[in-house]
Amino acid sequence: MENNNGKVEYWRWLEYHKIMPDRDWKNAETITAGVDVGSVGSKAVIMADGEIYSWSVMRTGSNSSDSATKALGWAMEDTGLTLKDFNYIVGTGYGRVNVPMANRAITEIACHAKGANYIWGPSVRTVLDVGGQDVKAIRCDENGKVVSFLMNDKCAAGTGRGMEVIADLLQIPIEDVGKVSLSVTEEPEPVSSTCVVFAKSEAVGLLRKGWTKEKVLAAYLRAMASRMSELIEKVGCEKEFVITGGQAKNIGLVHRVETILGVKRLPVPNLDETGRDPTSAGAIGAALFAKALYEKSLKR
Amino acid sequence: MVISAGIDMGIQRVKVVILKDNQTIAQSQQFSGFEPTKAAEQAFDEALQKANLSREDIQHVTATGAGVGMVPFADSTVSMMGADARAGAYFFPSARTVIDVGAEDARAVKCDENGILQDFVVNARCAAGAGTFIEAMARALEVKMADMGSLSLKAERASSINASCVIFAESDVVSLIHREEPKSEIARAIFDAMAERVSSMVRRLGLNADVVLVGGVAKDVGFVDSLKRRLGMEILIPEEPIYAGAVGAALVAAKRAKRRQ
């Protein structure tokens, strides 16, 4: 976690790519990909006949199109696939217009609903997507089609980027923040500021007052969770409820959202067996749209 | 003769002003730091020393600002809005709108010719409308905060940037630098966005001339330039805008001292 200057980067989360061992693309009729260039993370999912074959999750760099190329390249690594093998590619996310190899761009709202429907099945009605720089509450039908949604994209309060800033400030590795935040014996009052900049100065103030790191973290996550819960309640929380995006891994956040809403999310499927990764929900949805669009083009 | 003092407990700095018959005879500032009360004591003692006075000579001390409750030696307090209104009309009797942009908040205040507060709008929820924004962006651009203003004045256009949030703007700045956009145009985009936020706050209040700008950020030529363009009018700025809150509090203190005489 150390950078070139030897400084520990607590915010740095794990990048990964995986290939499903029991699947092979060579016999597949359609090969599609979804590339989700988020503000913080870039995700690429490759599907063979609508089943997840391989995928990658990595940090978005300063250039969206480079990030798209790198993410897809990483998902293709060790597979023998070349760009020519793809029948259709859909780009999505904050940088979706800058995905150079994409045949089409589709909004991440539609892709997340579609992806959630694929990951958890047709019973999903409410999707909370907590991304790097925005939070979305999406209502969808049994086909994963968006019915309505609300999003916060004007302010970093309660986003993954905000979580990175706090992890760095408290010097707690970001992969551990959820677990650490749940180690408090009593839930503290939430921090009063939702603005990341102000929350940071408030956190410094609390540390000075003698609060433990765990307690400060719990107070921040509580504020983050209540902000999200407001968004979900506005859009209406119908079961089944699921969480997508990078923060779906943050059990401290998930637990608090569940407590405030009084609703449990559907559990995360086993990644190694299914490849159904909530972080990649947008890219999964994009790859599914790619398949549908390709099949439609064949009928014409 | 009335000798009064005003103490403005800002989030970043504590400011103290001593007035003798409503004329400034001494001023002093300290970083608020870990112990704002101690900083207030220090700034107060320093101002007293400059004025060649002792604490007993001050007839009334009024505190204001975010840490208003942390001045044990204050005789009374006044709201930040009230202090701004007083100070605005004191510096410029024609003032009807006083804008105060500090480190972590911004306010617009409507006042009458006597410096009496009529109405106000406050932004204390978002850092994109306050001085912290300039500080964060200077860091991202790797330029000194004090140089941001003059840098932005060199630009003829502004970069396109998501400046609705400090955090978003930070990551946008990284991409813009990567694309080799001139830093001056990025700086101008920052000031334009801040000015947009502040001017929309002023418009909610009703834009009444003359407009006075105070607070630490009033010293920033880049912000002032952007705000003038956004408001479409001239802006009056006192010589030392950072002391405006303290001056306002000291004026209130003088009034209260007279009432007790």
Q: Which residues of B touch A161 (CB under 8 A)?
A: 167, 171
Q: Facing residues of B100 across strands?
A: B107, B214
Neighbouring residues of A257: CB distance < 8 A, sequence distance ≥ 6: A128, A225, A228, A229, A232, A243, A265
CB atoms B168 and A162 under 8 Å: no
CATH code of residue B118: 3.30.420.40
* pLDDT at residue A266 in the model: 97
Confidence of residue A193 (pLDDT cuts 50, 70, 90): confident
Q: Which amino acid is it at A250?
A: N
Measured between beta carbons, the chain B residues lying within 8 angstroms of A63 are 175, 178-179
* Predicted local confidence at residue B146, as pLDDT: 92
Torsion angle, alpha carbons of B124, B128, B130, B131, to 10 = 140
For residue A194, list chain B residues with Cβ-Cβ distance below 8 A.
125
A62 touches chain B (CB under 8 A): yes
pLDDT digits (tens, 9 = 90+) for B6-41: 999 998 899 999 999 999 999 999 998 888 999 999
Report the SS3 class of residue B29. Answer: strand
Please tell me which of the candidates A39, A198, A208 has its beta carbon nearest to residue B34.
A208
Q: Which of A197, A204, A209 to mutate to test the interface with B (most CBs of B within 10 A)?
A: A197
Handedness of CA B218, B219, B223, B224 (dihedral sign): positive
Residues of chain B neighbouring A155 (CB-CB closer than 8 A): 126, 164-165
Among B34, B127, B171, the residue with its CB nearest the CB of A198 is B127
Give residue A1's pLDDT: 60
pLDDT of residue B198: 92
Rounded to whole angstroms, the Cα distance separating B45 from B51 reads 10
pLDDT in tens, B31-70: 988 889 999 999 999 999 999 999 999 999 999 998 999 9
Strands, E assignment, A60-183? 88-92, 104-105, 126-130, 135-140, 146-152
3 state DSSP class of B107: strand
Domain A126-261: assigned CATH number: 3.30.420.40
- Quick one: average pLDDT of B184-205? 92
Q: What is the pLDDT of residues B91-123, one digit of tens each?
A: 999 999 999 999 888 999 999 989 999 999 998
For residue A152, pLDDT over 70 is answered with yes
Distance in angstroms (rounded) separating the CA atoms of residues A36 and A54: 14
If asked whether residues B52 and B22 sit together in one domain, one would say yes
Please determine whether the domains at A16-121+271-299 and A126-261 fall in the same fold group of CATH.
yes
> pLDDT value at position A7?
79
Task: Show residues of chain A in contact with B132, CB under 8 Å.
Answer: 197
User: Are A275 and A159 spatial neighbours (Cβ–Cβ below 8 Å)?
Assistant: no
Give how many domains chain B has, as a whole number: 2
In angstroms, rounded to a whole number, what is the distance separating the alpha carbons of residues A25 and A79?
9
Check whether residue B145 and residue B38 sit in a common domain.
no
* Structure tokens given for B22: 């409503």
**What pLDDT does residue B129 have?**
86
pLDDT (tens digit per residue) in B111-161: 998 999 999 999 878 888 899 899 989 998 999 999 999 999 999 998 888
Strand order in the sheet with A146-152: A146-152, A135-140, A126-130, A241-244
**Residue A2 has what pLDDT?**
66
Mean pLDDT of A53-73: 93
Q: Are residues B100 and B228 in the same domain?
A: yes
Torsion sign (Cα): A110, A113, A116, A120:
negative
What is the interface size between A and B, counted as CB pairs within 8 Å?
A: 49
- Rounded distance between C-alpha atoms, residue B158 and residue B38, angstroms: 43
User: How many angstroms separate the Cα of B93 from the Cα of each of B96, B106, B108, B115, B255?
Assistant: 8, 22, 17, 8, 17
Structure ipTM over 0.85, yes or no: no
First CA to last CA distance, chain A: 51
Confidence at A64, pLDDT banded by 50, 70, 90: confident
Residue B224 belongs to domain spanning: 93-237
Chain B residues in contact with chain A using a Cβ-Cβ cutoff of 8 Å: 11, 34, 104, 125-127, 132, 136, 164-168, 171, 174-175, 177-179
Nearest CA in chain A to B176: A62
Look at the block and give the residue holding tokens 């009605």. Answer: A125
Q: How much is the pLDDT for A4? A: 66
User: What is A16-121+271-299's CATH number?
Assistant: 3.30.420.40
Q: Quick one: what percent of chain A has pLDDT higher than 90? A: 76
Is the pLDDT score of A231 beyond 90? Answer: yes
Q: Give the whole-angstrom CA distance, residue B163 versus residue B194.
A: 8
Q: Tell me the backbone φ, ψ of residue A234, rounded to 5 degrees.
A: -65, -40
> What are the residues facing B21 on neighbouring strands?
none
What chain B residue is nearest to A204 in terms of C-alpha separation? B34
Residues in chain A within 8 Å Cβ distance of B11: 201
- Give, as one character, the DSSP assignment of residue A115: H
Is B167 close to A208, i.e. CB distance below 8 A? no
Q: Min CA distance, B228 vs chain A (Å)?
A: 25
Q: B68 CA to chain A: closest CA distance, Å?
A: 17
User: Is the confidence at residue B163, as pLDDT, over 80?
Assistant: no
Tell me whether residues A195 and B127 touch, CB distance under 8 A: yes
pLDDT of residue B175: 81
Half-sphere exposure of A83 (CA within 13 A, CB side): 10
Q: Å from B261 to nearest chain A CA?
A: 41
| Average pLDDT for A234-255 | 95
Per DSSP, the three-state class of A22 is: coil
Do B65 and B83 lie in a common domain? yes
Interface test with A, best of B35, B165, B186, B200 (most A CBs within 10 A): B165
Residue A139's closest CA among A9, A246, A6, A233?
A233
Average of pLDDT values for A234-258?
95
pLDDT at site B95 = 96
Rounded-to-integer distance, Cα B19 and Cα B15, Å: 13
Which strands make up the sheet holding A31-37, listed edge to edge? A16-19, A51-59, A41-48, A31-37, A88-92, A104-105
**Cβ contact, residue pair B177, A62, below 8 Å:** yes
Extents of the domains making up chain A? 16-121+271-299, 126-261
Q: Domain check: are B142 and B31 in the same one?
A: no
Please check whether residues B176 and B66 belong to one and the same domain: no
State the pTM of this model.
0.82
